[in-house]
A and B are shown apart, each in its own frame.
Chain A
């Protein structure tokens, strides 16, 4: 039985179209134009208990909206979803006690107070038994190495430390499902790495289900076996990270190390040459041609070493976004007089 199941989930809403120019702004007092934005369209997905799933997609693709729908913060305009047996937007207390949402760009701790005061508040709101609270807090603070910072006002913490506190706040009540929206945004490499390591460890130990959105491929590569690519509010791909490359990249990269004294001349007959730094040569060719190509190259050149690689993931995904956004029927414009 899937722990999260989504069927044909959609969310569209209407925004006031701000007009350019002063006159238009004055006119906007009486007459306003709206447009419908389809943030999520017809998304279906099923996640098993213990999975760590990444949502990948450009800005405005609908990742955050999906997480908000699953948290029950907003209502869908269509479709259904079920998390842990609950319909999220009914916002039942039983459900809300069993998941958590962390948003990298937003802060839910009291700004002027030490984080531990906010934690104590969570203890009360989630009704965490004191001994469990104590135990969880100790464990999490140890894992994230922030024991000493618990008594310091949040506003004095660095971005990375604040993120760690946000994570603790979210995990104190031992949620079974965790939604992470850009948890490493704006962090430096070390802090990113720390948070990744923590998430990996914690997820494996507690066997909780995590949905993560991120811009950073590193986050995803380090954490998630399963990746869901969202663009224009719809799912473009659902599978393993390497699957993305298999499915969306038609080319592969050949790295040759030529034997001493061998010239790279003529290699462009076989495939497009990416770079030549003798004795190293990089070539790119179509996936299905690789074997044939290799055979003929080996026949004609003396090669010391050879490697076949997939193109870098970033490149594949960047291309994936481009492909889909070019066909954008992103929004329908509707002019509507209003009072």
Chain B
């Protein structure tokens, strides 16, 4: 770092990794200042997730699978849920606190400062804070997946065995999912430039991602088809969890002929969403007028 300073000063932009590490470090310092709070937050987000398990434990007392012959039995569904948590934990840890603040920054004019810095404004806005406590769910999700897979792998009849490619593909598709959700979030947050205050942003986000929390098969019926299409191709939230979860939870099921195209489409959708989010963010900055002129 020190040796390329002379050049670094004039030509090269900031070292984004180092800036991010400083963000992460500062957030950790802050979190540690409010240690009790941090602990309670971690515990409560774990409790939140456990509650979800609770609900489905209750449901699976009455039902054998989510949908008839979809292959989403109890443990398959728990793998799905674990995947949901992992993706949401990453989004909540790195992006959620910042993007929630984005509307505030617009309202209070705090965005001015972000725009002054010699660094990509979207980067600065998106990653300023890291909510370390949200990562608790990432652990819990991994544990749930691990447990469910071991249950599936040792069960009678058709035990699971995972192909090694999954260990590469699963993380990759998890990151794709994160990128899609992030892009959606940025687009939503940017609307507050045009709509003024946007308190409902979080609700909107919750409702939209709500669709992604269930196996996509449940929408593939009757009047669910248009939704299925819209949330796969227009706002691709359905592929966010479904694709990585399916890699883990349905490895033995006969691969339907739509699975590989869907996986490819997910990659395409990821790239497109990220580009779209950049475009929207730029547009939003353009029409941003300082709150106090």
Q: Do A and B share a direct contact in the complex (Cβ within 8 angstroms)?
A: yes
Q: Which residues of A contact B (CB under 8 A)?
A: 11, 13, 37, 39, 64-65, 68, 71-75, 91, 93-97, 100-101, 103, 106, 108, 110, 112-113, 117-118, 120-121, 124-127, 129-130, 153
Indicate if the CB atoms of A113 and B118 lie closer than 8 Å: no
Other-chain residue from B9, B115, B118 in contact with A73 (beta carbon distance below 8 A): B115
Of A74, A101, A126, which contacts B118 at CB under 8 A?
A: A126
Q: Is B30 an interface residue (CB 8 A)?
A: yes
B157 at the interface (CB under 8 A from A): no
Q: Is the CB of B292 within 8 A of A127?
A: no
Residue contact A94 to B10, C-beta cutoff 8 Å: yes
Q: How far is the CB of B12 from chain A (nearest CB, A)?
A: 7
CB distance from A103 to the nearest CB of B (A): 7
A126 to B118, CA, bound (A): 6
The complex places the Cα of A138 from the Cα of B198 at a distance, in Å, of: 42
9 cross-chain CB contacts under 8 A = A64-B292, A65-B293, A73-B111, A75-B286, A95-B118, A106-B112, A106-B113, A124-B19, A130-B1
CA distance A72 to B115 in the complex (A): 8
Inter-chain contacts of A120 with B (CB < 8 A):
22, 26
User: Given A113-B30, A126-B14 in contact, is the A121-B23 Cβ separation under 8 Å?
Assistant: yes
For window 238-293 of B, CB contacts with A under 8 Å fall at 286, 288-290, 292-293
Residue of B nearest to A91 (CB): B115
Partner of A11, one of B110, B119, B292, B293: B293
Considering the complex, give the chain A residue whose CB is closest to the CB of B117. Answer: A125
Q: Is the CB of B109 within 8 A of A124?
A: no
Q: A106-B109, A112-B33 are in contact. Are A13 and B289 (CB under 8 A)?
A: yes
- Chain A residue nearest in CB terms to B19: A124
* Interface footprint category on B: 35 or more
* Other-chain residue from A39, A73, A94, A100 in contact with B112 (beta carbon distance below 8 A): A73
The answer to the question of B5 belonging to the interface, with a C-beta cut-off of 8 Å to chain A, is: yes
Knowing A68-B112, A113-B26 touch, does A127 contact B14 (C-beta < 8 A)? yes
Q: How far is the CA of A75 from the CA of B289 in the complex (A)?
A: 8
- At the interface, yes or no: B221 with Cβ under 8 Å from chain A? no
A74 touches which one: B18, B34, B289 (CB < 8 A)? B289
Partner of A101, one of B5, B112, B289: B112
Q: Give Cα A127 to B5, complex, Å.
A: 8
At the interface, yes or no: B2 with Cβ under 8 Å from chain A? yes
Q: A73-B112, A96-B117 are in contact. List 7 more A-B contacts (CB 8 A).
A: A68-B112, A68-B290, A73-B290, A103-B112, A106-B113, A127-B14, A129-B8
A113 to B28, CA, bound (A): 10
Q: Is B234 an interface residue (CB 8 A)?
A: no
- Kindly provide the distance from the CB of A62 to the nearest chain B CB, expressed in whole angstroms: 8
Across the interface, do A129 and B118 meet the contact criterion of CB distance under 8 Å? Answer: no
Tell me which residues from 1 to 60 in chain B have a Cβ below 8 Å from any Cβ of chain A. Answer: 1-2, 5, 8-10, 12-15, 18-19, 22-23, 25-26, 29-30, 33-34
The verdict on B168 contacting chain A, using a C-beta distance below 8 Å, is no
Chain B residues within an 8 Å CB radius of A39: 293
Q: Is the CB of A117 within 8 A of B26?
A: yes
A74-B290, A96-B116 known; A121-B109 Cβ under 8 A: no
Closest partner residue, chain A, to B6 (CB atom): A129
Cβ-defined contact, A112 with B30, below 8 A: yes
Residues of A within 8 A of B109 (CB): 106
B15–A124 CB distance below 8 A = yes
Name the CB-closest residue of A to B288: A74
Q: Report the minimum CB–CB distance from B116 to chain A (whole Å).
A: 6
What 6 A-B pairs have minimum CB-CB distances, sorted nearest first?
A96-B118, A93-B118, A108-B113, A129-B5, A97-B118, A124-B19
